[in-house]
Structure 1
Amino acid sequence: MSYLLQQIINGLSIGSVYALMAVGYSLVYSILNFSNFAHGGVIMIGAYIGYFCLTMLKVPFYIAFILSALGAGLLAVSMEKVVYRPLRKRNAPFLYFIISAMGASIFLENIVIASPIGPTFRTYPPIFSTEPIMLGPVALGRIDLLMFIISAISLIALIYIIEKTKIGLSIRATSYSVKGSTLMGVNVDQVIFIIFIMGGILAGIAGMLFGMKYTVYPQIGNITTKSFIAAVFGGLGSLPGAVFGSILLGIIETMTSGYLSSQYRDLIAFALLIFVLVVKPTGLMGKSTEDKA
């Protein structure tokens, strides 16, 4: 029983970080109706910002954390302005957005490899004690606890903004109909700016947390494949669905590693994606749309 609880705790930890990544996909998809595959590059840059702030600038953890989030948010809105906005103004097909997103992701990854940073794996300096917190027979890692708490606070703040503020009302209106919200006086460009900066900030947080847990390297953004699966599983365009799908995927992965083998983690994840797309393409909480990407 204690082993089962241990795997659930580990699953909640990694699933909460998946959720931070997945909501970035869902936010963009809910408005622009395409999957922003450049999201992984933003996460990678956020992880590197946090690392260099701690190792080179020697700033406290909370300052590195803030700079990582803000830096990733700035990168996300810059990408929207340079890569996606010209396509939106020309009413380009959604396929062009996907191709541009993939190109932006490859560009970010390779520019880091070609820079003095290089392809080297880098490890965050020890910030917290590695001694776990014991809850009876269950060990709770301090970084795992931090990942869960920060992710939970960030997601609660995001949901509050979406559900209880005027900005959130504009986002929800635009997600239903871009043309209709424009006629009602909503500034769609401003809404898109806001969703990209919110998604970027969450990506920066996720990147730093994931880098602290594991290591930092140019391909770290590939982990967003899992968060994309979680977003599809929960329902693209649905924030509660993205969170639920991410937590469930995290638990499934840790159960697979704990009771079968870590070699089956990716197999189970992609099998789950195929199953959901075949049985319920809209996901558990998603809404049916004409275009899926």
Structure 2
Amino acid sequence: MSVFLQQLINGLSIGSIYALMAVGYSLVYSILNFSNFAHGGVIMLGAYIGLYALHLLPMSFLGALIIAALGAGLIAVVLEKVAYSPLRKRNAPSLYFIISAMGASIFLENLVIATIGPTFKTYPEIFNPVPFTFGSISVSRIDVLMFVIAAISLAILVFIIEKTKVGLAIRACSYSSRGSNLMGVNVNRIIFVIFLLGGMLAGVAGMLFGMKYTVYPQIGVITNKSFIAAVFGGLGSLPGAVVGSLLLGLIETLSSAYIASQYRDLIAFTLLIVVLVIRPSGIMGKITEDKA
């Protein structure tokens, strides 16, 4: 039982980071109906921004986290203006957006390799490495921190989406951007907001992930898991993205503990295929009217 509880905690911890990444996909998909594969590059840059904020600036962890979130949010907004806005103005097909996103992701990765270098970098030790112990169960402080910060960030996002005028406009645009525009909603401003929100969450996720593991130019590959989680839960549904991410984190950790670590990705992808065959919209897939 103690092994199960230990793996349950580990799964929720990594699943919460997947959730921060996955909601960025879902936000963009809910409005623009394409998968933003450049999101991984934003997460990677967020990890580097947090790292250098701690190394170069005399600031606390919270200050570096805010800098990483704001920096990644700004990068996401610039990316939208450069890579996607010209395509939107020409009413380009969704395939063009996906190709542009993949190109932007490769560009950001190679830009970091050319300027910072391909070597792995580690965050300085910020917190006491001694874990919390509850009987035979030990929980690292970074795992607790990851879960708490992810929960707070997602709660703030839900509040914005459900309780503010901007959130109402986002939900309206997810139903019909053209109809919302006719009703007086500034769609360009809403797109700016969703890229900013998604980028800020990506920055938080990148810094937390880098603190737990390491930072390197290919760190954005981890967003393949968050994309799977978003599809698993229901692409375009924010609650689905969170639920799918937590389930994916649990599936991975439990598979590693009880079967073998080399099979965890195989099991996760197999379950994804099964879910999509049975329910193509995902576990919590929404109809178009309810995507946000």
Instruction: Tell me whether the two structures share a fold, i.e. TM-score over 0.5.
Output: yes
Q: Report the Cα offset of residue 59 of structure 1.
A: 2.2
Equivalent residue for 2:205? 206
Is 1:21–1:224's contact at 8 Å kept on the other side of the alignment? yes
Alignment of 1:32-111 (within 5 A): 32-111=32-111
Q: Report the Cα offset of residue 183 of structure 1.
A: 1.0
Q: 1:279, 1:240 → 2: CA distance?
A: 20
Q: 1:261, 1:59 → 2: CA distance?
A: 41
Q: CA RMSD in A?
A: 0.9
1:224 aligns to what SS in structure 2? helix
Q: Report the Cα offset of residue 286 of structure 1.
A: 1.4
- The alignment covers a number of residue pairs equal to 288
Q: Report the Cα offset of residue 174 of structure 1.
A: 0.4
Matched, 1:181 2:205: no
Amino acid at match of 2:132: I
Is 1:109–1:219's contact at 8 Å kept on the other side of the alignment? yes
Q: Report the Cα offset of residue 271 of structure 1.
A: 1.6
Matched, 1:148 2:147: yes
Amino acid at match of 2:197: M
Amino acid at match of 1:283: G
Alignment of 1:221-240 (within 5 A): 221-240=220-239
Q: 1:206, 1:274 → 2: CA distance?
A: 26
Q: Report the Cα offset of residue 187 of structure 1.
A: 0.5
Equivalent residue for 2:16? 16
2:138 aligns to what SS in structure 1? strand
Equivalent residue for 1:160? 159
Is 1:226–1:269's contact at 8 Å kept on the other side of the alignment? no
Q: Report the Cα offset of residue 66 of structure 1.
A: 0.6
Amino acid at match of 1:136: G
Q: 1:100, 1:63 → 2: CA distance?
A: 33
Q: Report the Cα offset of residue 79 of structure 1.
A: 0.4
Is 1:171–1:191's contact at 8 Å kept on the other side of the alignment? yes
Equivalent residue for 2:270? 271
Q: Report the Cα offset of residue 288 of structure 1.
A: 4.5
Q: 1:226, 1:152 → 2: CA distance?
A: 19
Q: 2:76, 2:200 → 1: CA distance?
A: 8
Report which stretch shifted further, 103-112 or 51-60: 51-60
Amino acid at match of 1:32: L
Equivalent residue for 2:3? 3
- Sequence identity, in percent? 73
CA offsets, 1:34-65, max 9 Å, x none? 00000000000000001111122242211111
Q: Report the Cα offset of residue 269 of structure 1.
A: 2.1
Amino acid at match of 1:256: S
2:130 aligns to what SS in structure 1? coil
